[in-house]
A and B are shown apart, each in its own frame.
Chain A
Amino acid sequence: MAIASMPVATDLAWLGTGPQPLALRLTRAGHGLRVWGDAPVSALPATVDVFETGSQAAVGTLVVFLGAGPADVLARACAAAVEGAVAVDLGQRPAAEAAMLAAALAQCGIDLVDAPLDAADVPATGPWRLAAGGTPRALARVGPVLASAGAQMVAAGGPGAGRVVRGCRDLVHAVMLETVAEGLSLAADNGVPVGPVREALLGGFAWSRALEEAGARVVGRRFEAGGARALRRGLETVLEQAGACGLVLPQAALVLQHLRALTARAGDDADPAALVRVIEAAGGRCREDRS
Chain B
Amino acid sequence: MNIGFVGLGAMGLPMARNLLRAGHALRVWARRPQAAAPLVAEGAVLCADAATLAAGCEVMFTMVTHGKDVEGVVLGPGGLAAGALPDSVVVDCSTIPPAVARRVAEALGARGVHMLDAPVSGGEPGARDGTLSIMVGGPAPVYARVRPLLECLGRTLVHVGGHGAGQVAKAANQLSLVVAIQAAAEACLYANAHGVDFARVLEALDDGPAASRMLQIVGSRMQAHAYEAGIEARLHHKDANIVLACAAESCSYVPAVALAAQTFNALMARPGVRWDSAATRCVLEALSGLPSAPPPAAAGVAEAGPGPAPA
Contact = CB atoms under 8 A, between A and B. Distances in A.
Interface of A: 121, 128-131, 133, 154-158, 160-161, 164-165, 167-173, 175-176, 178-180, 182-187, 189-193, 196-197, 199-211, 213, 238, 241-242, 245-252, 254-255, 279, 282-283
A191 B172 contact: no
A168 B222 CA distance: 14
Contact of B209 (A161, A209, A252): A209
Nearest to A197: B169
Interface string B206-240: 11111111110100000000000000000000000
B218 to A, nearest CB: 10
Contact of B200 (A156, A213, A249): A156
Interface of B: 98, 120-123, 126, 132-135, 154-156, 158-161, 164-165, 168-169, 171-173, 175-177, 179-180, 182-184, 186-187, 189-191, 193-197, 200-201, 203-215, 217, 243, 246-247, 249-257, 259-260, 263, 284, 287-289
B200 A128 contact: no
Top 5 A-B pairs, shortest CB-CB distance: A203-B156, A204-B121, A203-B133, A204-B133, A208-B212
Contacts of A196: 158-161, 169
Contacts, number: 271
Given A164-B191, A185-B252, A190-B98, A202 B156 contact: yes
Output the residue of A157, A168, A241 with the most chain B CB within 10 A: A168
Output the residue of B154, B204, B247 with the most chain A CB within 10 A: B204
A126 to B, nearest CB: 11
A129 B191 CA distance: 18
Output the residue of B122, B159, B183 with the most chain A CB within 10 A: B183
A236 to B, nearest CB: 14
B236 to A, nearest CB: 11
Contacts of A213: 209
B185 to A, nearest CB: 9
Given A164-B194, A168-B187, A208-B180, A182 B209 contact: no
Contact of B256 (A129, A156, A251): A251
B180 A179 contact: yes
